Structure 1
Amino acid sequence: MAMTTLTIFHYNDLHSKFDQWPKLVSFLEEHRTDDTLYFDLGDHADRTHPATEVTRGKLNVRLLERLRPTAVTIGNNEGITFPHDWLAELYDEATFPILLGNVYEADGSRPNWVDETLVLEQDGFHIGLFGVTAPYEELYPELGWQIESPYEAAERALKQLAHCDVIIALSHLGFFGDERLAERFPEIDVILGAHTHHVLDEGVMTNGVLIAQAGKYGKYVGEVTLTLGESGVVSKEARLHELSQQSDSPDTLALLHTEGADAERLLDVTIAETDGYTSDWFGPSPLGDLLVEGMVEWCAADVGIIPSGVVLEGLAPGGVTLNMLHRICPHPINPCVLTLDGETLARFLHDANEETFTTMHVRGLGFRGTVLGEPSLYQIEQRDGQTYVMGERLDLNRTYRVATVDMLTFGPLLPYLADQPKRYFMPELLRDVLRETIVARHEVIRKG
């Protein structure tokens, strides 16, 4: 068997940042040959973008379809910010494979839009592929899916691919999850990664496995070159291509302009008239107060605590449109109820008011704002050095149901909240709660 070279291009975590997409398309069109492989590693879609929102992600799939990837996998933005029916129908018109081994329907059956593995043949070599995504164990079931350990799914896939000369994993586990995957399964040749937005200029070799990841937002395209011989993979190389100087694809620019205009038009729907609500991340924030009050009602909680920074700006007096709410509250963040004893609630309040917390610049966790800001509270008052909850002094031994935002319960920001009893409200996002709260309190504009 003669030596041959396998060239792979990959990118990840576009997050519907479509300003970079025409450059990425142009680059890949220039480098496309019949033998090159192209992979998207998930989080292509992000409901922060109006066009993704109004098309339920179908625009993202249309863009991928024009690119003709070899295969894709999904990220957490497709998996846990899309309602079940959105994801179940997302790839209806796709002709490319979606590789995903660890997500199932609620009844345990494999979704009809995914493949567990894929085998390609090139120059007599068999190339085995599989995909896994981050296992948000508490969130997927709320949306009607089952989630499996990606390592168990990988073990099963590797048994199916044992006859292959090359094995490539499409992963949305994050870099540290990829390292664990490599430590456990050295038979994998390459892990194409995502999720943690690592910029790996030359990849990282772990346990003989090459891990490659290409940042975020389409700023880079990764290239992996494998030299194959009789014994399988002889050498592995990875590098990144930075795209800031790349020309744009004119056809892609035109399509995005049209889709963006359509999205703006579809969201230009007036739902209510108000006298206006101001917003301030470090002072009185009536719109943040309205949102936290609405969340307490929505979740049937006792009290509410949210970072005021989730509301990006206020509402001017007059009509309120869906476009405004999407701009003001773009985050793919869900309401959550924590069940806290009084002592933990007191700690939560203290930490949420700390300057290091309120001025924190957060990237990820669904947050699409700038800083967290001071907390907006409902049914909680702090005066004369005392905390009052529902009109009475905070009882350290009592249990309270606290409405908040899911991002605070994931661990990185306030680790002790991750271990508390909780319930996530899905698929509703914060802007859905804000919309319903505004409509409930103000005159609804009716056609005619």
Structure 2
Amino acid sequence: MAVTTLTIFHYNDLHSKFDQWPKLVSFLEEHRTDNTLYFDLGDHADRTHPATEVTRGKLNVRLLERLQPTAVTIGNNEGITFPHDWLSKLYEEATFPVLLGNVYEADGSRPDWVEETLVIEQDGVKIGLFGMTAPYEELYPELGWQIESPYESTKRALKRLEHCDVIIALSHLGFFGDERLAEMYPEIDVILGAHTHHVLDEGVMTNGVLIAQAGKYGKYVGEVTLRLDGTKIIEKEARLHELSHRSDSPDTLSILHSEGADAKRLLDVTIAETDGYVSNWFGHSPLSDLLVKSMVEWCTADVGIIPSGVVLEGIPPGKVTLNMLHRICPHPINPCVLTLDGKTLTRFLHDVSEETFTNMHVRGLGFRGTVLGEPSFYQIEQRDGQYFVLGERLEPNRTYRVATVDMLTFGPLLPYLKDQPKRYFMPELLRDVLREAIVTRHEILRKG
């Protein structure tokens, strides 16, 4: 039999960086043929962008619909920053397959738009596809979803696809999760990855499995080439195409301009009037003080601790609009309550006050700011080198409920908080809490 070539294009983690999208579309339109495969690996949508926010992600799906990918999977931004009703309806009008094997409704059923596996045939070669996303086990149930181990869902998918000649995994597990997947299941031929934003110029071969990932924000498109002798793969190659010098797709530019104008108009809604709030990452910050106080009340906690850098700028005197709040607090970050003993709380307070922490530039974890900044506390004071909570000396053996931001509990920043008892408050984001606080204060002042 003749040697044939299977060409695959993939990208990941656009995060609603729509300035890059017209270039990416232009590249894929130029390289599209009837025999090429196109995949989006999740986190296409990010509520940081006003147009994604105001359309509940439907703009992102409309953009994908125009591109007509072979299949997509979801990332954590679609999965755990969208309220349940947003995600349950997100892909209901999509005509492209959404492959997702490890997320279920609370009753164990799957949304109508989900497919666990997909088989396509090209030149007599059966290509089996499946997808899975990062298993945030503490977060999905708070939004009304069940989450399964991706390694278990992979085992089930491979059983269904064992008759296929080529098996491709669409993964939003991150590079290290992909390596584990390759070690466990060498029958997978290619893992198209995402989540950790790795730039894998030529891919990585692990246990005979080719792992490919294409950075983030649409800066790259990945290309995987499989050469087959009949139905047997004889060669695997991966490379990246850098897109900064690409021309834009005019039609896509026009759509984004129109959608952006609509989003700005729909978010130009006045919710209150204020005398203004100052924001300061390295000094007294009334706006972050208001936010942390409101989080304690929202979560019925004892005390509050947040990095002031989650508030990007202050609010000038006058009208406060939804658009303004979205710009000031764009993060897909949720309130969280930690239950800590006094000894751990003391360590937490010390660590977030260290200069190495306050000056830290953070990328990922939902943070869309610059630096973490100095902490804003509520019901916590430091006097004569000792901490006081609710007016009393902090006791090492006492238990405290601490309102904070979820990003501090995931492990990379403060690893010892990851295993502490906690509850996430979802789907509300920090800006929802801030909005409620500003509106409430406005009403009190108006009546008083």
Partner of 1:233: 233
Distance in 2 between residues matched to 1:220 and 1:213, nearest whole Å: 9
Structure 1 residues 72-107: Cα deviation after superposition (integer angstroms, max 9, x where no partner): 000000000000000000001100000000000001
Shift of 1:442: 0.9
**1:261-276 equivalences in 2 (<5 Å):** 261-276=261-276
Determine the structure 2 residue equivalent to 1:282: 282
Alignment-mate amino acid for residue 244 of structure 2: S
**C-alpha contact (below 8 Å) 2:92/2:112 kept by paired residues:** no
CA distance in 2, matches of 1:241, 1:230: 28
Instruction: Report the counterpart of residue 213 of structure 2 in structure 1.
Output: 213
| Structure 2 letter corresponding to 1:201 | D
8 Å contact kept, 2:294–2:433: yes
Measure, in 2, the Cα distance between the counterparts of 1:415 and 1:386.
Answer: 24
CA-to-partner distance for each residue in 1:181-213, whole Å, 9 max, x for gaps?
000000000000000000000000000000000
Instruction: Count how many residue pairs are aligned between Structure 1 and Structure 2.
Output: 446
Equivalent-residue separation in structure 2 for 1:229 and 1:24 (angstroms): 31
Quote how far apart the aligned CAs of 1:230 are: 3.0
> Offset of 1:158 from its aligned partner?
0.3
Find the counterpart in structure 2 of residue 43 from structure 1. Answer: 43
Deviations 1:41-87 (A, max 9, x none): 00000000000000000000000000010000000000000000000
Q: Distance in 2 between matches of 1:328 and 1:267?
A: 13
For 2:317 and 2:171, the matched residues in 1 are separated by: 47
Q: Which amino acid aligns with 1:122?
A: Q
Superposition pairs of residues 277-316 of structure 1, within 5 angstroms: 277-316=277-316
CA separation of 1:162/1:281 partners in 2, compared to 1, >3 Å: closer, same or farther?
A: same
- 3-state SS, counterpart of residue 215 of structure 1: coil
Percent identity, aligned pairs only, is: 87
Deviation at 1:155, TM superposition (A): 0.5
User: Are the equivalent residues in 2 in contact too, given 1:99–1:116 (CA < 8 A)?
Assistant: yes
* Residue 255 of structure 1: aligned partner: 255
Output the CA distance in 2 between the equivalents of 1:13 and 1:158. Answer: 25
1:54-93 aligned within 5 A:
54-93=54-93
Code of the aligned partner of 1:367 = F
Spell out, residue by residue over 1:281-303, the C-alpha distance to the aligned partner (whole angstroms, 9 max, x if none): 00000000000000000000000
Aligned partners of 1:441 and 1:251: how far apart in 2? 45
Change (3 A) 1:76 1:445: farther
What are the Cα deviations for residues 14-57 of structure 1, in whole angstroms up to 9, with x where unaligned? Answer: 00000000000000000000000000000000000000000000
Deviation of 1:445 (Å): 12
Q: Secondary structure at the match of 1:227?
A: strand
Instruction: Trace 1:269-418 onto structure 2 (pairs within 5 A).
Output: 269-418=269-418
| Separation in structure 2 between the aligned mates of residue 372 and residue 126 of structure 1, nearest angstrom | 49
Give, as a single letter, the amino acid of the residue that structure 2 aligns with 1:250: P
1:125-204 alignment to 2 at 5 Å? 125-204=125-204
C-alpha offsets along residues 296-316 of structure 1, whole Å, 9 cap, x if unaligned?
A: 000000000000000000000
Cα offsets for 1:108-162 (capped at 9, x unmatched): 1122110000000000010000001000000000000000000000010001000
What one-letter code is carried by the residue in structure 2 that aligns with 1:387?
Answer: Y
List alignment gaps of at least 5 residues for structure 1: none
Asked if 2 retains the 8 angstrom alpha-carbon contact of 1:272 and 1:444, the reply is no
Query: 1:277 & 1:72 partners in 2: Cα distance?
Result: 43
State the alpha-carbon separation in 2 of the partners of residues 445 and 129 from structure 1.
Answer: 58
CA RMSD between the two structures: 1.1
CA distance in 2, matches of 1:197, 1:444: 46
Equivalent residue letter for 2:254: A
Matches of 1:45 and 1:445, distance apart in 2: 38
Counterpart of 2:29? 29
Compute the displacement of 1:385 (Å).
1.2
Contact 2:6 2:226 in 1 (8 A): yes
> Matches of 1:400 and 1:165 in 2, distance apart?
57
Question: Helix, strand or coil for the counterpart of 1:442?
Answer: helix
**SS state of the match for residue 372, structure 1?**
coil
Once structures 1 and 2 are overlaid, which stretch shifts more, 387-396 or 36-45?
387-396
Instruction: Report what 2:105 is aligned to.
Output: 105
Native 8 Å contact 1:270 1:445 kept in 2:
no
**In 1, distance between residues paired with 2:432 and 2:417?**
24
3-state SS of 2:99 partner: coil
SS at structure 2 position matched to 1:345: helix
AA paired with 1:3? V
Cα contact 2:125–2:231 (8 A) shared by 1: no
Give the Cα separation in 1 of the matches to 2:277 and 2:313.
Answer: 9
Mean CA deviation greater in 379-388 or 424-433: 379-388
CA contact (8 A) 1:273 1:443 kept: no
Unpaired runs of 5+ residues, structure 2, are: none
Q: Is the 8 A contact 1:339 1:402 kept in 2?
A: yes
Shift of 1:231: 5.1
Distance 2:441 2:343 in 1: 34
Is the 1:12–1:40 contact (alpha carbons within 8 Å) kept by the matching residues of 2? Answer: yes
Letter in 1 for 2:152: E
Q: Equivalent residue of 2:101, what SS?
A: coil
The CA distance in 2 between the partners of 1:111 and 1:183, in whole Å, is: 30
Q: TM-score, normalised by structure 1?
A: 0.99
Corresponding residue SS for 2:443: coil
Q: CA deviation at 1:242?
A: 0.1
| 2:267 aligned partner, one-letter code | L
